[in-house]
Amino acid sequence: LFDAGLIRTIADLYELKREQLLPLERFAEKSVDNMLKGIEKSKEVPFERVLFAIGIRYVGETVAKKLARHFKSIDNLQKATFEELVKAEDVGEKIAKSIIRYFKDEHNIEIINRLKKHGLKFSLTEEQLQNMSDKLAGLKFVVSGVFHDFSRDELKHLIEQNGGRVVSSVSSKTDYIIAGENMGPSKREKAERLGIKIISEKEFEKMLEE
């Protein structure tokens, strides 16, 4: 697609037409239709993933989530001052300067405006805003094992939605381990040695209800 001159930026993807793709080599009708369906479906991707995808230097997946939660929309992020940016969790001077540089570039603003026009999500939804809280703010969780009521991804999402942070390994800075069946014995042993509280998914649910 790049060689054919059809794509130069991410926004060009959303302007592709079936009749442009069919004459291209290795683009059969079915693969073209599947590709266009996939592009259309990507408009349902949540704001934090869109923010990660637009390619602000040093803004990885985790920082994009934190920025989305803190600023709620791309417009708020764009208007944020350096001082406001560094107040967001995990945003240091280097990331703050990179964000400011990104939004000073007219080319980037043009791409964002085109993506907005095509219906991509550049703010948190009302539902996301209603479900957010700071109940777990400042707390770090490790999720380990197999669960009955939630998948591991659902638990991680709930932690982040309520202001907590998911970490992959147990350390003295970990506050809780949510333990399912078949939790790794080495993790359990380390948690017990460090005095980290191990809770079940039911106990975690109670934390959210309090």
| 74 and 141, same domain (yes or no) | no
Decide if 118 contacts 44 (C-beta within 8 A). no
| 16 and 78, same domain (yes or no) | no
- For residue 7, the model assigns a pLDDT of 86
- For residue 116, the model assigns a pLDDT of 97
Decide if 187 contacts 177 (C-beta within 8 A). yes
How far CA 21 is from CA of 24, 29, 117, 149, 165, in Å, comes to 6, 9, 22, 44, 43
Report, as ranges of residue numbers, the positions in the chain whose pLDDT lies below 50: none
C-alpha 69/C-alpha 138 separation (Å) is 14
C-alpha 47/C-alpha 44 separation (Å) is 9
C-alpha 210/C-alpha 201 separation (Å) is 15
| 152 and 105, same domain (yes or no) | no
Decide if 59 contacts 98 (C-beta within 8 A). yes
| 60 and 96, same domain (yes or no) | yes
| 75 and 94, same domain (yes or no) | yes
78 backbone φψ class: left, alpha, beta (φ>0; ψ -120 to 50): alpha
> pTM score, two decimals?
0.75
| 85 and 158, same domain (yes or no) | no
| 29 and 51, same domain (yes or no) | no
Number of domains in the chain: 3
C-alpha 125/C-alpha 52 separation (Å) is 17
- For residue 24, the model assigns a pLDDT of 85
- For residue 61, the model assigns a pLDDT of 92
Owning domain of residue 21: 2-43
- For residue 175, the model assigns a pLDDT of 97
| 156 and 92, same domain (yes or no) | no
**Angle, to 10 degrees, between the axis of helix 152-161 and the axis of helix 201-209?**
20
Other beta carbons less than 10 A from residue 151's beta carbon = 11
CATH number for position 161: 3.40.50.10190
| 16 and 74, same domain (yes or no) | no
What DSSP state is assigned to residue 5?
T
| 125 and 139, same domain (yes or no) | no
- For residue 174, the model assigns a pLDDT of 96
- Last residue of a domain, which of 109, 129, 149? 129
For residue 63, the SS3 value is: helix
Cβ partners under 8 Å of residue 12, min gap 6: 6
| 23 and 77, same domain (yes or no) | no
- For residue 83, the model assigns a pLDDT of 98
As given in the structure block, the two tokens for residue 148 are 């009955």
| 19 and 38, same domain (yes or no) | yes
- Last residue of a domain, which of 80, 99, 129? 129
